[in-house]
Amino acid sequence: MTMLFRNKIALVAAIATTSVALAAPVLAEQPAPTAPLSYAVSTMSMADDWTGFYAGGTLGYAGAGGDNVFNNDEAGWDYGVQGGYLWDTGTAVLGGELQWVGTNVQDDVNDIGIDGVARAKLIAGYNAGVFMPYIVGGWAQLTTSGSLDESDTGYLYGIGANYMLSETVMVGAEYLKHQWDNYADTGENVTAETLEVRASFRF
C-alpha cells in the first residue's frame, strides 16, 4: 500500500472521528426530560433499539492492487448509496445491506478504470447503546472499463461502527477488504481496500 493511500486513509478516519465527536455536544445540549421517569426510560430504550430499515450515502477512499493491473497500488475517492435492515436481539445486532459505490480509481499504464463495486453484505454487531461496533462479510461485484471491460464477483470482509445521532439518523465508518481471484477469467487477481464514512436515515 502506498504512502499516499495511507495518508488518505488517515484523513478519512479523522473525518469519521470528528463527525462522532461533533455529535456529543449536540446531544449534551438537549434539555433534561421533564416527563415522568417511566416515560424517560421508555424513550431511552427506543433510542437504543437498532431494529429497522435504513438508507443513506457513503464517501471514502479506495485503493486497488493486482498481479499485473493496479500494481502501482492505484487509489482514489469512492462514493455511493446503501440500504439495509438491522434486527436487534437485545445484545447482538444482525442484518443485511445492499450497497453500490463508484470510484475514480484508474490504472493509466494499462488503461483500466474501476467504474464501481456492488456489494451484498451480512452484518453482525453488538448493541452498546447508541454505539454499535460490527463485523461484515459478503460478496462484491467489480466492474472495470478501458482495456479490461469486464465484470466479476468476489468476496469482501471488514469491520465498522455506527453511532445513533437520533432515532432517525445514524453515522458511521467502515473498513473493507475485497478479493477477486482470476478476475473475469483473465488470470488476474485483483484486491481492493476501502475506508468510508457513512450517514443513513432510519425508518
pLDDT at 26: 45
pLDDT at 1: 47
pLDDT at 24: 46
Query: Cβ(64)–Cβ(74) under 8 Å?
Result: yes
136-189 pLDDT, tens digit per residue, is: 999 999 999 999 999 999 999 999 999 999 999 999 999 999 999 999 999 999
pLDDT at 108: 93
pLDDT at 73: 80
Q: Which residues of the chain have pLDDT under 70?
A: 1-47
Buried b / exposed e over 180-196, threshold 16 CB at 10 Å, is: beebbebebbbbbbbbb
Query: Cβ(129)–Cβ(177) under 8 Å?
Result: no
Here the cell at position 188 is 488476474
pLDDT at 133: 98
Query: Cβ(61)–Cβ(9) under 8 Å?
Result: yes
Using alpha carbons, list the distances in angstroms from residue 33 to 24, 38, 43, 144: 17, 11, 10, 53
**What's the longest Cα–Cα distance across the chain?**
67
Domains of the chain as residue ranges with CATH: 3-202 (2.40.160.20)
pLDDT at 6: 53
Using alpha carbons, list the distances in angstroms from residue 1 to 58, 63, 117, 153, 183: 22, 8, 20, 23, 20
